[in-house]
Amino acid sequence: MLVQLERGVKPTPLFAIIPLMSELTDFIEGRNPVVEALRAGRPINRVMLSKNVQRHSTIAEILRRAREQGIPVEHVDDLALRKYSASGSTQGVIALTAAKEYVSLEDLLGISRGKKEDALYCVLDGIEDPQNLGAILRTADATGFHGAIVRARRAVGLTSAVARASAGALEYVPVARVANIAQSLEMLKKENVWAIGIDMRGDRDYTAVDYRMPVAIVVGGEGTGVSELVRKRCDILARIPMKGHVSSLNASVAAALVMYEAFRQRNRQS
């Protein structure tokens, strides 16, 4: 039986970002190249800034534009910059480019309206493994999801490894990057989109939720699951029943199960 509903920053540690950087194919080094990339609106995952860099006008502009564009800035040791520098002359700053440009929440809502379908999004609360993100985007494309939402910090961005793992799906699934998942869910709820958190403590089976209404399925990060603050913002907490000895599923597998249930409900014959 389906449940039908009605409705009226802390910096990332260096050790957390180094594995992600090795997956990228392009770095922009130096103050002027980085500021020009920001001025041009080039998609950037994050900016690495030396803790010892001299704060002058160009650095100030880099910080301002990164803040305005929602790009995380990591303050790191010079050793980290040198390790990932191709030229050996970073001038205290490196930008890590994204494999694809991000969209906004408003863009995602516009895509749903353009399709004349009820909103259908996958919200990822801290996915760090590029293989998982790529697999989720591949499933999102296969199941007709209108887009995905990822957080900017403590999560993998749209790296080349993600593009490869998605098997081309990255080109077809719009991805919005946000600073705060909980606040983004509140914004979506104002647009009558229901937040469905996938959590082992959920009070109902995931197949008992009606995904034909406007929904955003929320999947937590590897090992941590949905964060407490985000969990509180969810309208429904749904669980995936398990019988074996392990306590949880891989994040991309859990996402795939729920996305295909949404696909099944939305495409079954009346």
Domain holding 40: CATH number? 3.30.1330.30
Phi then psi dihedrals of residue 191, to 5 deg: -95, 20
Q: Give a yes or no: residue 8 inside a domain.
A: no
Round to whole Å and give the CA distance between 20 and 6. Answer: 41
Round to whole Å and give the CA distance between 37 and 71. Answer: 12
Q: Give a yes or no: residue 3 inside a domain.
A: no
Task: Please name the residue that has the structure tokens 């009558």.
Answer: 192
Q: Which helix (H) or strand (E) holds 48?
A: strand 44-50
Tell me: pLDDT of 22 over 80: no
Whether 73 and 109 share a structural domain: no
Whether 177 and 131 share a structural domain: yes
Where does the pLDDT of residue 52 fall: very low under 50, low under 70, confident under 90, or very high at 90 and above? confident
Last residue of a domain, one of 97, 122, 147: 97
The answer to whether 44 and 71 have CB atoms below 8 angstroms apart is yes
The stretch 100-104 carries a mean pLDDT of 88
Q: Write out the residue range of the structural domain in which residue 47 sits.
A: 14-97
Tell me: pLDDT of 248 over 80: no
- Tokens, residue 135: 């697999």
The stretch 87-114 carries a mean pLDDT of 88
Whether 228 and 113 share a structural domain: yes
Task: Please name the residue that has the structure tokens 């490894």.
Answer: 161
Q: Give a yes or no: residue 9 inside a domain.
A: no
pLDDT of residue 60: 92
Q: Give a yes or no: residue 5 inside a domain.
A: no
Round to whole Å and give the CA distance between 185 and 229. Answer: 11
The stretch 161-184 carries a mean pLDDT of 91
Task: Please name the residue that has the structure tokens 């996402």.
Answer: 255
Where does the pLDDT of residue 269 fall: very low under 50, low under 70, confident under 90, or very high at 90 and above? low
Tell me: pLDDT of 214 over 90: yes
Where does the pLDDT of residue 6 fall: very low under 50, low under 70, confident under 90, or very high at 90 and above? very low
Round to whole Å and give the CA distance between 1 and 45. Answer: 43
Whether 228 and 256 share a structural domain: yes
Percent of the chain with pLDDT over 70: 90
Whether 172 and 77 share a structural domain: no
Number of structural domains (the chain) is 2
